[in-house]
Amino acid sequence: MGEFDLIARYFTRAPRHAVLGVGDDCALLQPQPGMQWAVSSDMLVDGRHFLSTTPPAHLGHKALAVNLSDLAACGAKPVAFTLALALPQIDEAWLKGFSQGLWALADEHGCELVGGDTTQGPLNICITVFGEVPPGDAMLRQHAQAGDDIYVSGTVGDARLALEVFRGTLSLDAPHFEAARIRMEQPTPRVALGQALRGVANAAIDISDGLVGDLGHILQRSKLGAVLTTDWVADSAAISPALQTLPLNRRLDMALAGGDDYELLFTAAPDQADAVQDAANASGVSVTCIGRITANAGLQVLDAHGVAMSRRFASFDHFAR
């Protein structure tokens, strides 16, 4: 099988909303009247973003999920994506699994594949997503306000928990490991929540590198500080039963600096608290209040007694030494 047969067999379907899909030099997309494009790319590199043990269907899911998560963080509605793929060889079992995982998540969100590029090389998956958002409605990192509550969606720390089990630094019983592994390999992009938070949240980001580090991006762009509480790490909807099995200090590291969570971290004025809960209920995901934005720069992490902790929660940086 050659490059073009591969594209035709695994990555071509009839266009739905696109004016023109796979097959020509460009795809053609027509935004809904009055909408803006929200565009984002994310790359997954073998050995760096995923383990070789990852089933191909999970990889297909994750490659799109991490991109949809960026649209969610802006409050955009997914429309289309492109897929640039470097493959070491043509492995039909792999392509079948990968494309199944990809199509399943794409269909769930009505997001269609409109083009891409395919080449031979070390396994590398790069997706670019296109979403729609009304002008001025995108939730941006720079729009946090002093006094805003800080929230996180879903649960944090599970992907790192699974990674540490794979690395052999931790062990878990089978059901807890399976639950954590699903969070690592098949994260759920909070697409509905992101759209429901438009006009409710001020600033938002999705957690890819670690909660504290990603909150740092909001603080830097908004030129503000924050106080983070940690009592929620002891017991709240944001901590899964699997993570609950760890002692509190290890749980803190996973929850605050684990990374790969693909949950939304967002800020909203205190008078929006009911609207935040309504958005969470409407989209079927929990949200947990974990702190407050302050006019003073800097980030304080408080222990269960409200005392500032001195330890650091370093987040992931591909170029850090």
- The verdict on 3 binding Mg ion (CB under 5 A) reads no
| Region of 19-27, 213-221, 223-231, 245-253 interacting with ligand ADP (CB under 6 A) | 19-27
Name which of ligand ADP, Mg ion, none residue 118 binds, using a CB cut-off of 5 to 8 Å depending on partner kind: ligand ADP
- The verdict on 22 binding ligand ADP (CB under 6 A) reads yes
The residue from 117, 178, 278, 317 that contacts Mg ion (CB under 5 A) is 117
Question: What's the min distance (Å) between Cβ of 98 and ligand ADP?
Answer: 10
| Burial classification of residue 182, based on how many CB atoms lie within 10 Å of its CB (0-12 exposed, 13-18 middle, 19 or more buried) | middle
Question: What span, in angstroms and rounded, lies between the C-alpha atoms of 3 and 238?
Answer: 44
Name which of ligand ADP, Mg ion, none residue 173 binds, using a CB cut-off of 5 to 8 Å depending on partner kind: none
Do residues 77 and 131 touch, judged by C-beta distance below 8 A?
yes
| Region of 54-62, 86-94, 109-117, 202-210 interacting with ligand ADP (CB under 6 A) | 109-117
Q: At what angle do helices 211-222 and 248-257 cross, to 10 degrees?
A: 50
The pair of structure tokens assigned to 321 is 């030494």
77 φ, ψ (degrees, to nearest 5): -95, 125
Cβ proximity to ligand ADP: between 7 and 293 the closer is: 7
Closest by CA position to 79, among listed 22, 12, 18, 13: 18
| Region of 47-55, 111-119, 228-236, 262-270 interacting with ligand ADP (CB under 6 A) | 111-119
Interface ranges with Mg ion (CB under 5 A): 117
Interface ranges with ligand ADP (CB under 6 A): 7, 11, 22-25, 83, 85, 113, 115-118
